[in-house]
Structure 1
Amino acid sequence: MLMMNDLGSMAAGMLPFDPMCGGGLYEQQAPKPPRFVFKMPRVVPDQRNKFETDELFRRLSRESDIRYTGYRDRPHEERQSRFQIGCREGHADIAFTSTGTNLQLTFAPHMPIASYHQPTNGVCDFEKERGAVHILSHFIMNGVCVRWKGRIDLNKLDGTGCLELDEERATIEHRMLQEQIERYNDRIRDYQDKPRAFRNQDRVTEADMENNRRLNY
């Protein structure tokens, strides 16, 4: 039969842990500085200037020889089949032979070339030229909105292509960049205004206390 002291000991041992009693309730904790999360911009401020002056863009903007780079370890016939399957699914890996620059193109699955104006990531067309596929792919490269345009021979798995400045998407991304910078600047201003507001409040409080002391006298 348990004695009262034993019950008291058990009860004391079964008390639930209170996280507020670890000293945190009574200790003064230093306020943590605010965290400003600024996402890395997707584009540079002046996309046109970079596209026209950057040496890599200048070289890739000229129509150059390209080749399909997928499944290099497979037989040529299998690569031909996989390339066409990839195009119909909406992707292709290519490289500029002159610079060795590799690109992973993504675009909408196979559709007529007349649909190029539609707001998609790009298109591919097997109907424009017999024995070849024409591809248009939109993406951001080194902070610049570009589109890759070219043709690839379905038998040889090589062809020609080039990069162009995608002015429409560049305008959209630039507007998004400006909005992102403005939001960030607003947060900085809010953070800088808070200490100033606290200092003004302290001055008002001290003035009120001084007035109260004078009235009491």
Structure 2
Amino acid sequence: MNYGNPMHHHMGDPGMMHYAMYEKPKQKFFFRVPRVVPDQKSKFESDELFRRLSRESEVRYTGCRERGKEERQSKFQRELHEGRTEVSFITNGMSIQLAFTPPTQEYNKKDKQCDFDREPGKVHIKSSLIMNGVCVRWRGWIDLERLDGIGCLEYDEELGAKEEARRDSYMKMR
């Protein structure tokens, strides 16, 4: 028996923990917040931020701003081949993390979320995300040398329908 350790129960099995020294586990409550708002499309059409971002405007790659041009170009290319990058809208400084199917993936052939073939010297990107409770798609292109281009947000009907179905099924379970 280990008399020096107060965590051992001295009556009965010496390996048993003395349960009186622990608090009873507290009941845990999990609150799931829906990822999307009701009637996403009308919020997308009426919200001032979405109205501004839905117009094609200048965008810029924002990674590694403290590095030199060649290093930034190289980093941008690596991120594209990993299926992610960060861009910002020049007009208001809004930065968005984009995630998409890398161009080397076989299932990118159908949808072409990252397309280097469309225009020489540019990459065309499509990336779906949820922003402020609304399913949107960032669509645009970035010049591979200058690291700037044109982009906009549009309402993503397909993702919106999936997320609304997920939200509705969750609400029924409650």
Larger radius of gyration: 1
Q: Aligned residues: percent identity? A: 50
What one-letter code is carried by the residue in structure 1 that aligns with 2:47? D
* Amino acid corresponding to residue 74 of structure 1 in structure 2: R
CA distance in 1: counterparts of 2:46 and 2:17, whole angstroms:
64
Unmatched 5+ stretches in structure 2: 1-8
Residue 131 (structure 1) aligned with residue 121 (structure 2): yes
Residue 113 of structure 2 aligns to a residue whose secondary structure is strand
Aligned residues: 157
Greater relative CO (CA pairs within 8 A, separation 6+): 2
1:173 to 2:169 alignment: no
The RMSD of aligned alpha carbons is 2.4
- Higher percent of residues as strand: 2
Alignment of 1:87-102 (within 5 A): 87-102=80-95
What's the CA shift for 1:170?
Answer: 0.5
SS in 2 for 1:164: strand
Question: Which residue, 45, 51, 65 being the options, matches 1:58?
Answer: 51
Unmatched runs of 5 consecutive residues or more in structure 1: 1-12, 23-31, 117-121, 185-217
Is the alpha carbon distance of 1:15 and 1:141 closer, same or farther for their aligned partners in structure 2, counting shifts above 3 Å?
same
Partner residue in 1 for 2:141: 151
Q: Deviations over 1:139-187 (max 9, x none)?
A: 1111111100000001110000000100011011101111111111xxx
TM-score, normalised with respect to structure 2 = 0.82
**What secondary structure does 1:62 align onto?**
coil
Code of the aligned partner of 1:52 = E
Alpha-carbon separation, structure 1, partners of 2:81 and 2:95: 20
TM-score normalised over the length of structure 1: 0.66
State how far apart, in whole Å, the 1-side matches of 2:90 and 2:50 are: 15
State the Cα distance separating 1:20 from its structure 2 match.
7.5
**Which residue of structure 2 aligns with residue 29 of structure 1?**
none
CA distance in 2, matches of 1:83, 1:60: 23
Change (3 A) 1:36 1:156: same
More helix by share: 1
Deviation of residue 94 (structure 1)?
Answer: 0.4
